[in-house]
Amino acid sequence: MGNIFAVTNQKGGVGKTTTTVNLAASLAEAGKKILLIDLDPQGNATTGCGIDKTTLVNSSYDVIMAEAKALDAIVRPDNLSFDVMPTNVDLTAAEIQLLDVKVREHRLRIALESTRENYDFVLIDCPPSLSMLTVNALVASKGVIIPIQCEYYALEGLSSLLQTVERIKQRVNPTLEISGLLRTMYDARNNLANQVSRQLITHFGKKVFHAIIPRNVRLAESPSHGVPVISYDRSSRGAIAYMALASEFMRREKLLMADK
């Protein structure tokens, strides 16, 4: 049964969607069966996978509101080697509508119970806020991947996210763990970036991925072409970094499974 991972950070602009799309592509490149779920109303992961948001018949909104089965909302774009549950602006309404439904924190988990069996890994691109959508993703997930930009405010928002993860673990999802913190948009020439990177390692130790995602023009360009960076320019520093992340991620998960 495929393990589910929420890719989240309440701070926007840290490479959350970029990480979800490119980790999905890199894991698929390694032969894994992958489902990417776009749970961000902005739908950037959807467009980054080359899917037209305006033509969707079913989306993650329909799934989380129990108006469609997960299988009916999943598509496989011709240019990708992994499946996508896309979204559009309709998902904005789910935040309010979920307040009036029963077991609202469990809607996504329930919807994915049978579908996840078809995959090795399910990656959820969360909105940049601690919203009911993010809570649904965390309740459904085994692990949390936190992209974090090495800048002055990086650690501020991290503490509240970690508190939320801990509360959900204690009350609803006891198997939830932090899978790793990923340093993104990294520039080794920047003294502040190096300082924050050291702070992350001091505070979180082995939870920090060894793989580091650099600032990279090709990585920034690929979403406008509707493809992951390994399809756009697999020799770029961005593509190489995400393939390294995928390898490290799979090694970590294999070790965790071996320990159980």
Helical axes 16-29 vs 237-259, angle rounded to 10°: 70
Residue 1, pLDDT score: 59
Alpha carbons 173 and 129: distance in angstroms, whole number: 19
Using alpha carbons only, give the angle 162, 197, 243 rounded to the nearest 5 degrees: 85
Which has the closest alpha carbon to 12: 154, 207, 189, 190? 154
Split at pLDDT 50, 70, 90, the class of 114 is confident
**Residues of the domain holding 172:** 3-259
Q: What is the pLDDT of residues 1-15, one digit of tens each?
A: 579 999 999 888 889
Residue entry with tokens 């998902």: 91
Q: Which two tokens stand for residue 12?
A: 């926007």
Q: Is the dihedral of CA 45, 68, 8, 208 positive or negative?
A: negative
Alpha carbons 1 and 15: distance in angstroms, whole number: 28
Total number of domains constituting the chain: 1
Residue entry with tokens 């018949």: 57
Nearest-Å Rg of the Cα atoms of the chain is: 17
* 98: CATH: 3.40.50.300
pLDDT > 60? residue 260 = no
Alpha carbons 113 and 108: distance in angstroms, whole number: 9
Q: What is the pLDDT of residues 177-236, one digit of tens each?
A: 999 999 999 988 888 889 889 989 998 999 999 999 999 999 999 999 999 999 999 999
Q: What is the mean pLDDT of residues 238-253?
A: 96
- Can you list the positions of beta strands (E) in 132-225? 143-149, 177-186, 208-214
Q: How many CA atoms lie within 13 A of 241 on its CB side?
A: 21
pLDDT > 80? residue 76 = yes
Tally of CB atoms within 10 A around 194:
14
Residues 6+ apart with CB under 8 A from 166: none
